[in-house]
Amino acid sequence: MKGIVYVLEDDASIAGLIKFSLEREQLTCRTFGCVRDFTAGLREQTPDVVLLDIMLPGIDGYDVCREIRKTSTVPIIMLSAKGEVFDKVLGLELGADDYIIKPFDSKELVARVKAVLRRYQTGSAPAAPAASTETGTETIQYTDLTVSLSNYSVVYMGHPVEMPPKELELLYFLATHPNQVFTREQLLDRIWGYEYVVDTRTVDVHIKRLREKIKDHDEWRLATVWGIGYKFETKKG
């Protein structure tokens, strides 16, 4: 597996460990000790994954994540010694794709990076497309909504909508199974896979972010089934 990973981490020893672990798996890794150098690196080249430390000198990783999300959908994995649920949820709400708590096991970190790369590079769909998808493509269409895994794009009300890979994959999966209810655990398995050790609130956060970007439509909506999970609800004729 090939991929370019950018690491923004001011602790040189941790950055060195990450670089060694990733390069041992034939991944290209660039480490940055400050935001200025990291930003310059982004201008030079777009990485496949960003590992982002939260506690940085002069600025926190949350702000960096917010700035990245203004212009890019590159997958972001946050690194932090802060292990409270609030910290995880905040990172996810700002656009991070995953959250790893320090101290971490290097094997787990590598596994998570590889999992992101597999989904992002192959555009793998969680399940076979439903009958409403375009023939020969991974594209689902509803009135005023088009979601494509072929080029990782969403068009809503005639305008493109930027969203991170897992948000798009979650929307696509639900939309290709209209009116079918999925538990949070099922969605975790389908979208994040067994490589991820995340709690079910991750799904709630991603649904919340989707609803902020994709509002309810007269013919369809992202619906909560209380006590169970979520579904992409369509108006039945």
| Phi–psi pair at 147, nearest 5 degrees | -120, 125
Is 4-122 a domain of CATH 3.40.50.2300?
Answer: yes
Which runs of consecutive H residues, i.e. helices, occur in the chain? 12-23, 35-44, 61-71, 85-93, 106-122, 165-175, 184-187, 201-213
**pTM for this entry:** 0.60
Per-residue model confidence as pLDDT tens for the chain (237 residues):
689 999 999 999 999 999 999 999 999 999 999 999 999 999 999 899 999 999 888 888 889 998 888 888 889 999 988 777 777 778 877 888 888 888 888 888 998 898 888 877 655 433 333 334 444 458 899 999 999 887 788 999 999 998 888 889 899 999 999 999 998 888 888 887 745 555 668 889 899 999 999 999 999 999 999 988 999 999 864
- Among 100, 123, 124, 121, CA closest to 21: 100
Instruction: Give the separation between CA 198 and CA 209, rounded to whole angstroms.
Output: 17
Domain residue spans of the chain: 4-122, 139-234
Judge: domain 139-234, CATH 3.40.50.2300: no
